Copies of this chain bind each other. A is one copy, B any other.
Amino acid sequence: MEVSGGPGRGIHPAKGIAVEIRLDELARLLGGTLKGDPTLICRGANPPGQAAADEVTMILEPQRREEMEGTEALAVIVTGEIESLDRAQILVEDPHQALATAVKHFRPPIELTLPPTGIAPGADVAASARIHPSATIGKGVKIGHRSLIMPGVVIMPGCVIGDDCVLHAGVTLYEYTQLADRVVVHAGTVIGANGFGYRQEQGRHVPKAQLGYVRIESDVEIGACVTIDRGSYGPTQIGEGTKIDNQVMIAHNCQIGRHNLICSQVGIAGSCRTGDYVVLAGQVGLKDHITLGDHAIVGAQAGVMDDCDGDQVYLGSPAMPQRDQMQIFALQRKLPEMRRELKTLRKQLAVLEQRLNSDPAETVDGANGQPDADTDTSKQRAA
């Protein structure tokens, strides 16, 4: 099944068709000024790094301009024209606000409302798909061939499910969630809930925009009671073939690579990226905005606070390369011994010092043939 609403593409939940807009119209919509070809057709809006060749993105901080060099995006929302950037640009005062407006144009927020019982009239369900009567399928949902939707599953409006997917009992997909083909989701899992992002206003936490969605690529298997939050503007993404164990938490904007193994109770904070074939053992935690290289392995209960290169094993909290951490673990066990040694050294040093302080006399005495002082310090040393 072709998922017509690919990553970041708007699908009108009621119509099930992709939205298009000319760049000059988009600039007008955003209250901005267009520098570039007004006739270009834009088909989506996404954050930097996630925008496709027919989509608009934004750039906020000047130091991030370099990131734009390689962007595929059709157009970029900017505060001031960037001469060096070979792309259409829309000049606005508040790029965040403008991107939010563009995102809402392409993926209009769906007013939270009760879905009708069973399959909503507008839904597009393949004839070979099997839907349990107790499941709820919202407006504009697409379900591919042979997919199986078990009892109590709730699929909110605008979701797209590919072919041969299995959604076990009680799974909830929030609006606009996208599953490619052969995705298996075990019971009780919740995909697409709001990200945990707030700003403080007059002493109260006010939710930030949570206009994004979740995109799960093909052949992903997701365990029971897993939670994966939607992105802020674009997708939280799980790469092809990745396997996720029970009770894993993946926060908003994360970009999980292909063929990862993410064990039980792992928690990944917002905007993390993992390469391909990354392994996260049980109860691992990743701080927000962490990047892990391909084939990185993080040991159980580790807490990753900094980016990690690939092809290495990391352990501990805070996490560090295995070799270093193993040495530290070993030395922690030797701390009692080290402390005892320190004490011994202190004593020995004191003895030496005392001997040395008495040495001038001793030496003189020694020259006089009196060895008694030496015997005394020996005793002290043994004490």
Which of chain B's residues have a CB closer than 8 A to the CB of A285? Answer: 265, 282-283, 300-301
Q: Report whether A114 and B130 are in contact in the complex, using a CB–CB cutoff of 8 Å.
A: yes
- Among B136, B169, B334, the residue within 8 A (CB) of A136 is B169
Q: Report whether B193 and A223 are in contact in the complex, using a CB–CB cutoff of 8 Å.
A: yes
Q: Report whether A356 and B355 are in contact in the complex, using a CB–CB cutoff of 8 Å.
A: yes
Which of chain B's residues have a CB closer than 8 A to the CB of A190? Answer: 170, 186-188, 224-225, 246
Q: Report whether B188 and A225 are in contact in the complex, using a CB–CB cutoff of 8 Å.
A: yes
Chain A residues within CB distance 8 Å of chain B: 112-115, 117, 130-134, 136, 148, 150-152, 154, 156, 166, 168-170, 172, 174, 186-190, 193-194, 196, 198, 203-205, 207, 219, 221, 223-225, 227, 229, 241, 243, 245-247, 249, 251, 259, 261, 263-265, 267, 269, 282-283, 285, 287, 300-301, 303, 305, 317-318, 320, 324, 327-329, 331-336, 338-339, 341-342, 345-346, 348-349, 352-353, 355-357, 359-360, 362-364, 366-367, 374, 381
Q: Report whether A241 and B204 are in contact in the complex, using a CB–CB cutoff of 8 Å.
A: yes
Q: Report whether B204 and A259 are in contact in the complex, using a CB–CB cutoff of 8 Å.
A: yes
Q: Report whether A339 and B342 are in contact in the complex, using a CB–CB cutoff of 8 Å.
A: no
SS class, residues of chain A in contact with chain B: mixed
Q: Report whether B366 and A360 are in contact in the complex, using a CB–CB cutoff of 8 Å.
A: yes
- Among B113, B246, B329, B353, the residue within 8 A (CB) of A249 is B246
Which of chain B's residues have a CB closer than 8 A to the CB of A156? Answer: 169
Q: Which residue on chain B has the smallest CB distance to residue A355?
A: B356
Distance of A196 Cα from B318 Cα, bound (Å): 26
Distance of A320 Cα from B335 Cα, bound (Å): 14
Known: A334-B339, A363-B363. A264 touches B251 (CB 8 A): yes
5 additional A-B pairs beyond A187-B190, A285-B301, beta carbons within 8 Å, are A150-B154, A152-B152, A196-B246, A207-B221, A265-B285
